Structure formats: C-alpha cells, structure tokens
Amino acid sequence: MRSLAFNVAYWLLSILYASAAAFAALTPGRGATSWIIRRYVKRMVQAMRVFAGIRIEARGRERLPQGAFIIASKHQSWGDGFATYDQFDDLAFVTGDHLEKFPLLGTVLRKLGAIVVNNCGGREAREALKHRAADAHAAGRKILIYPEGNLAKVGEKFRYRSGVWHMYRDFDMPVVPLATNLGLFWPQEAFAKHPGTATLEFLDPIPTGLAKDEFLARLEAAVEGKTAELIAQATCRPVTPAVQVPTPDEVAKAAKLAAATA
C-alpha cells in the first residue's frame, strides 16, 4: 500500500508541477521555472517520507567548498535527483536525452539550464557537455553529474565515464564525490519502495590539477567505497565492494556484434 500511495502521489505531483513549469518556461528568464521545480522537488521528498516511509539524511555538508563546484554522485535510484537537488538552492544537472521524450519536459529542462547529453556518450556527447556546462559554470552554479551515466543496481557499478574529468579540467573546479544508499529503499525505477532512512554523504572534495587516470581512480574509489559502507550500515552486513558490469549500451553493442557475426 505504501508503494501504491507513493506512486499515485508521484504521478499527480509530476503532472501538476510539469504543467506549471511548462507554462512558466514561456516567461522570460528561468526564475519562475526554477521556483516551481524547487517546490516540486520539496513536495516529492516530502511524499517519499509521508507515503513511502523513506527519510533522507544528508551528511558531510560541512565538507562542501565555497563557490561553484561539481558534485559527482553514485546513481542507484530514480529518487537520487530529488534527494540531491533538495540540498541546494540552485543546481545545474547533467541528464540523458531520454528525458526529452516526455512532452514539454525538454522545454523545461532547457529553461532550467539543465545539461542534456546523449546517453550513448561519444564525441558529440562530450562536446555538448562541454558547451552546456560552460554556461552553468559562467553563472557560478553548482553542477550535478552521475559519472556512470546509468542507474546501477545495489552492489553493482558501471565504468566511470570521462565527462566529469573534462569539466573538472576545463573549468578548474573542485569535484565533491557523493555516496548514497537510496537504492536500498527506492531501487532504480522500481515500483516497490521500502521504508527506512537513506543516506547521502558528501565526501572530501578532490582538488583541481589531477591527471585524468588519477582523478577517475580517486573519484571511483571514494564514491564506491563510501557507498559500500553506507549499504553495509543500513543492512547490518559486511562491507562488500560493488561488481563492475557492462553498461546497457555496451550490452546492446555486443548483442549487435554477435548477431552480425552469427
């Protein structure tokens, strides 16, 4: 019943606020649209608590640097965006172009200054990330990115993509790793929700100036290590490192290759 109640609330809130944001997107500037989306996020986090019994505990905010920075987060749940966005007043975020398939959502994303890139990656995606992130950087906004580029199951991880490093290098901004165990309570895009206290933990910022391989190794170790600890704390089980699995696009490419050579 909790899951049903939350999902009803989820769709009602989404339809209501998406419609309001679409109208607001017709006005000059992004102030009105941003205000509506912040209200939407707060109501959604409230619905998670009231209907699904999922509370959000944020740790490590004292580690956040002053000014603009990049947040590189683990991504296990559709609720990650709501939980993280709710921690800041003005947050730009990197998202896949799959969201643009929803009516009017593309217009709202553009008005918000979201950084929309091709889910499959590649040179075009890197160029889009560079140019759109530059606008957010110029405005002094904090930027949220999911380095894996996909929703991972609890206990799994994908290859960390280099887009976050390109932003880190190009904009000379510190990167704050963000670990989470929200996937235990709202797994990926699943209908079923599980009550409990989910934790977001901001970790020590990675200073600027590191080479690509060193940066990505340090980021992955921080995010995955703390995420495994948070999962262990919530489940009262030993800390178990995540297993790397192929991304959905890697699986699709392998299937096409196998079919072509069969």
Q: How far apart are CA 236 and CA 150, in angstroms?
A: 27
Other beta carbons within 10 Å of 176: 23
Note whether residue 22 is domain-resident: no
187-209 in b/e form (b: 16+ CB < 10 A) is beeeeebeebebbbbbbebbeee
Q: Could you tell me the residue range of the domain that residue 84 belongs to?
A: 56-255
Confidence check: pLDDT of 6 > 80: yes
Note whether residue 195 is domain-resident: yes
Task: Select the more confidently predicted residue: 137 or 171.
Answer: 171
Q: 0.95 exceeded by the pTM?
A: no
pLDDT at 103: 59
Note whether residue 3 is domain-resident: no
SS3 59: strand
Among 132, 98, 135, 139, which residue's Cα sits nearest to residue 115?
132
- Domain at 84, CATH number: 3.40.1130.10
Looking at 69-73, 78-82, 114-118, 163-167, which range is the least confident one? Answer: 114-118
pLDDT class of 97 with cuts at 50, 70, 90: low
Note whether residue 28 is domain-resident: no
- DSSP element (H, E) containing 94: strand 91-96
The model's pLDDT over 193-217, given as tens digits with 9 standing for 90+, comes to 999 999 999 999 999 999 999 999 9
Note whether residue 18 is domain-resident: no
Note whether residue 159 is domain-resident: yes
Other beta carbons within 10 Å of 186: 25
Among 133, 205, 198, 144, which residue's Cα sits nearest to residue 170?
133
Confidence check: pLDDT of 15 > 60: yes
Mean pLDDT over 90-97 rounds to 80
Residues 145 and 94 sit within 8 Å (Cβ to Cβ) = yes
Q: How far apart are CA 78 and CA 90, in angstroms?
A: 20
Among 176, 27, 14, 179, which residue's Cα sits nearest to residue 102?
14
- The count of structural domains within the chain is 1
